[in-house]
A and B are shown apart, each in its own frame.
Chain A
Amino acid sequence: MLSGNEAIALAARHCGVALGVGYPGTPSTEILENFSELGGSAEWAPNEKVAAEVALGVAFAESDSLITMKHVGFNVAQDLFFTAAYSGIQGGMVAVVADDPGMASSQNEQDTRSIARCGGLPVLEPADSQEAYDFTKLAFKISRKFKTIVIIRTTTRVAHTTSIVEYSGEIAPLAAADYRKDIPTHVMVPAHAKPAHKVLRKKLAEMQAWNNAEGPNKIEMRGSDLGIVASGVAYQYAREAAPDASIFKVGMSPLPIEKIVEFSKNFKRCIVVEEGDPYMSELLRANGANVEERAQAWRFGELNVDRVRAQIANDTSFEMPVRKAKPPALCKGCPHIFSFQPLVELGLIVAGDIGCYTLAAMKPLSGMDMQICMGASIGMGVGMRKVLPEEKARKVVSVIGDSTFMHSGLTGLVQAIYNPPSTGHVIIIVDNSTTAMTGHQENPATGKRLDRSETSKISIEEVARAMGAKSVAIFNPVREQAQFKEHLIERLKAPEISVIILRQPCILAAAAEIKRKAKQ
């Protein structure tokens, strides 16, 4: 019994992956943790772009790398992926990108398949843990065969569903790493990138032909009334919702379009069941497949058997029953509560960020005014201060966590110091010494690596001082809440960049640490 994430980690070990690297993000986080527990070399990078850079270096050196992230993390790393698609690679590189349709733990429900298509990268879509294992192995084969990065798109129900996996193989030896000088391939200046773009389009056509001929797709012919084209976990829902329908199960993009078009012509009615964008349905219709236009209703949220039954019945008004549920909340005694109370009492405008502390936006605190993406708190706060009337501008603060600060807050601080608002700005770093929301991973400010071994610890206060913050202060938000508030009131008046670090470890992380030590 393995979850999709555990199955990917095991397959990566069986493929001889030399380095696993990524940034934590639900529902992808457990892949690298398991890869490490299985003896693989795994690292948390400060953010997804850096992780992708490291993984690409491994693949340029003829070795194999695995990189993991959630869908929004893929955006952070995009810059690298879009050009590495041109350059190609010499080893193997597989990126697992975990989508979160229905947003169980995310800020949007973007579809990785659409983005990968823009970037010119192939995508594999496993439907359960068995395929998560099999497709990871296949992904490394495709990566080396076509000299390309391969994306594995999982979704919440593939990543976090546990099911039986039959596997064969053992821990594979690592490929010998080497580097052969090849400037036109690796240096993407215009003179090299122009022909490289043509090479990429040719490669994609070859991958499509290969996918049509022998790709990981499956045709299940049953009745002739209804044909369904489905991918990923949506295939499972379709199977259960329509046991008599014939199904074309798509495993890979570039889509095996010719084959699907041919399949679609066998039926009175053929529909596309997919989670997320109308990615397949639009492409298939543009290529002449006999498939129905997919109603807008099915692109929102997660699918399930009930919703697929409704899609088959053309009942677009169908809604899942809404049940009362206790929404997520900050834990009792959480230091973030103490950090946000003074901000609420002072009626401040809080530009917030991503982490457990985002829950401070919820009642009863209602202590955060905006949150968009990782690291945005500092830039948004600076922007508001630049245009708001002075009295109101002085009420704006940015609040960011330790891991998020390392991820993409550093450049925001550079902006604040380089282009300061005339009123100055107050940046509050809520340092609970862990990446809490995703399940207590280490980060560059904790002084520990993914496997909890000791490493250099990056000091947030020294970084802030070295960058030129005029005032850097540290408080314990629980024990020194009054002092913090007094200092904050003073700094809100100062026309300078002030950094306030509120440092108190997460109570759950502390408990988990004790448990880990007891286990050893």
Chain B
Amino acid sequence: MKISDKITNVKVAGLGGMGVLKAALILGELLFEEGCDVKKAEVHGMAQRGGSVSSDVRFGKKVISPIIPENETDFLLSLEPEWSDVFKDTLRQGGVVISPADIDVSKLPTAKALNIAILGAFSKHLDIPEERWLEVIAKFFPAKLAASNEAAFKLGRNS
């Protein structure tokens, strides 16, 4: 992929247990493998216990601060529809929200794969081939989930 001088800011948000951190981990790894400088920041511990969880992924030629400044989020990947509203004001003008509303969730192979489907929907905005996404996703799951993850990813990407 062509790496821009400008930093791109992605915020992944949802509730504990939805796979927010896993989605951010996959995205960070993929961008790193594509040659970007990447920083991924999140909060663990008590904050994670059943409460709101979010992860900031920043990438480009050189990333300095790990947290996205206010009003500079380019993409909000919201696993919980409610969160799209909560974080909407952190978006920069023209920033994009990707939420379960963009996907026919009734076609998800399992509800747990929502995070992968959201990544699929987001993947349309980056110049990275589909196979690369699937390769990196596969690294983070047992082999038996490969087919279900691929289906979820494609559901998002083709939505």
Chain A CB within 8 A of B38 CB: yes
The one of B38, B45, B86 in contact with A104, judged by C-beta atoms closer than 8 angstroms, is B45
- Whether the pair B65, A323 counts as a contact (CB closer than 8 A) is no
- Whether the pair B46, A240 counts as a contact (CB closer than 8 A) is no
Query: Given A105-B46, A323-B86, do A157 and B66 touch, yes or no (CB 8 Å)?
Result: yes
The one of B46, B52, B66 in contact with A161, judged by C-beta atoms closer than 8 angstroms, is B66
Chain B CB within 8 A of A439 CB: yes
Residue interface mask B28-61, A partner, CB < 8 A = 1: 1100100001111111111111111000000000
27 contacts between A and B (CB under 8 A): A1-B28, A26-B46, A105-B44, A128-B66, A160-B41, A160-B43, A161-B41, A162-B38, A162-B39, A163-B40, A164-B32, A236-B64, A236-B65, A237-B65, A239-B65, A306-B69, A306-B70, A324-B86, A326-B50, A326-B52, A328-B16, A328-B49, A328-B50, A329-B49, A329-B50, A359-B49, A439-B45
Q: How many residues of A contact B (CB 8 A)?
A: 42
Once the chains are docked, how many angstroms separate the CA of A327 from the CA of B47?
7
Once the chains are docked, how many angstroms separate the CA of A327 from the CA of B64?
29
Residues in A whose Cβ lies below 8 Å from that of B28: 1, 162
Once the chains are docked, how many angstroms separate the CA of A88 from the CA of B72?
49
- Whether the pair B67, A104 counts as a contact (CB closer than 8 A) is no
- Whether the pair B65, A156 counts as a contact (CB closer than 8 A) is no
Residues in B whose Cβ lies below 8 Å from that of A164: 32, 37-38
Within the complex, what minimum Cβ distance (angstroms) separates A382 from chain B?
27
Chain A CB within 8 A of B15 CB: yes
- Whether the pair B45, A26 counts as a contact (CB closer than 8 A) is yes
Once the chains are docked, how many angstroms separate the CA of A240 from the CA of B43?
21
Interface residues of B in 143-159 (CB under 8 A from A): none
- Whether the pair A327, B38 counts as a contact (CB closer than 8 A) is no
- Whether the pair A304, B69 counts as a contact (CB closer than 8 A) is yes
The one of B43, B50, B64, B67 in contact with A330, judged by C-beta atoms closer than 8 angstroms, is B50
Chain B CB within 8 A of A321 CB: yes
Interface residues of A in 4-61 (CB under 8 A from B): 26-27, 29
- Whether the pair B67, A105 counts as a contact (CB closer than 8 A) is no
Q: Which residue of B lies closest to A1 (CB)?
A: B32
Once the chains are docked, how many angstroms separate the CA of A304 from the CA of B89?
17
- Whether the pair A240, B64 counts as a contact (CB closer than 8 A) is yes
Chain A residues in the interface with B (C-beta under 8 A): 1, 26-27, 29, 104-105, 128, 156-157, 160-164, 233, 236-237, 239-240, 304-306, 309, 320-321, 323-331, 356, 358-359, 437-439, 518-519
- Whether the pair B47, A105 counts as a contact (CB closer than 8 A) is yes
Once the chains are docked, how many angstroms separate the CA of A356 from the CA of B25?
25
Residues in A whose Cβ lies below 8 Å from that of B48: 328
Once the chains are docked, how many angstroms separate the CA of A74 from the CA of B65?
27
- Whether the pair A26, B69 counts as a contact (CB closer than 8 A) is no
The B contact surface, by secondary structure, is mixed
- Whether the pair B47, A328 counts as a contact (CB closer than 8 A) is yes
Query: Given A1-B28, A1-B38, A331-B50, do A240 and B65 touch, yes or no (CB 8 Å)?
Result: yes
- Whether the pair B49, A331 counts as a contact (CB closer than 8 A) is yes
**Given A105-B43, A157-B66, 6 new contacts (CB under 8 A):** A161-B40, A161-B66, A164-B37, A239-B64, A328-B46, A329-B50
Q: Which residue of A lies closest to B40 (CB)?
A: A162
Residues in B whose Cβ lies below 8 Å from that of A104: 43-47
Residues in B whose Cβ lies below 8 Å from that of A161: 39-42, 66
The A contact surface, by secondary structure, is loop
- Whether the pair A321, B89 counts as a contact (CB closer than 8 A) is yes
Once the chains are docked, how many angstroms separate the CA of A273 from the CA of B118?
38
Chain B residues in the interface with A (C-beta under 8 A): 15-16, 25, 28-29, 32, 37-52, 63-67, 69-70, 86-87, 89, 142
- Whether the pair A27, B49 counts as a contact (CB closer than 8 A) is no
Q: Which residue of A lies closest to B43 (CB)?
A: A104
Q: Which residue of B lies closest to A320 (CB)?
A: B70
Q: Which residue of A lies closest to B33 (CB)?
A: A1
Query: Given A325-B86, A326-B52, do A304 and B43 touch, yes or no (CB 8 Å)?
Result: no
Residues in A whose Cβ lies below 8 Å from that of B40: 1, 161-163
Once the chains are docked, how many angstroms separate the CA of A468 from the CA of B142?
50
Query: Given A163-B38, A321-B70, A331-B50, do A437 and B45 touch, yes or no (CB 8 Å)?
Result: yes
Residues in B whose Cβ lies below 8 Å from that of A325: 51-52, 86
Once the chains are docked, how many angstroms separate the CA of A239 from the CA of B67?
13
Within the complex, what minimum Cβ distance (angstroms) separates A168 from chain B?
19
Within the complex, what minimum Cβ distance (angstroms) separates B43 from chain A?
4
Once the chains are docked, how many angstroms separate the CA of A156 from the CA of B49?
17
Once the chains are docked, how many angstroms separate the CA of A166 from the CA of B15?
33
Residues in B whose Cβ lies below 8 Å from that of A128: 39, 66
Within the complex, what minimum Cβ distance (angstroms) separates A250 from chain B?
17
Most buried by A among B25, B46, B87: B46
Residues in A whose Cβ lies below 8 Å from that of B41: 157, 160-162
Within the complex, what minimum Cβ distance (angstroms) separates B15 from chain A?
6
- Whether the pair A26, B44 counts as a contact (CB closer than 8 A) is yes
Q: Which residue of B lies closest to A308 (CB)?
A: B65
Q: Which residue of B lies closest to A3 (CB)?
A: B40
Q: Which residue of B lies closest to A5 (CB)?
A: B44
- Whether the pair A27, B52 counts as a contact (CB closer than 8 A) is no
Once the chains are docked, how many angstroms separate the CA of A51 from the CA of B9?
40
Within the complex, what minimum Cβ distance (angstroms) separates B104 from chain A?
26
Q: Which residue of A lies closest to B42 (CB)?
A: A160
Residues in A whose Cβ lies below 8 Å from that of B70: 306, 320-321
Once the chains are docked, how many angstroms separate the CA of A26 from the CA of B16?
16
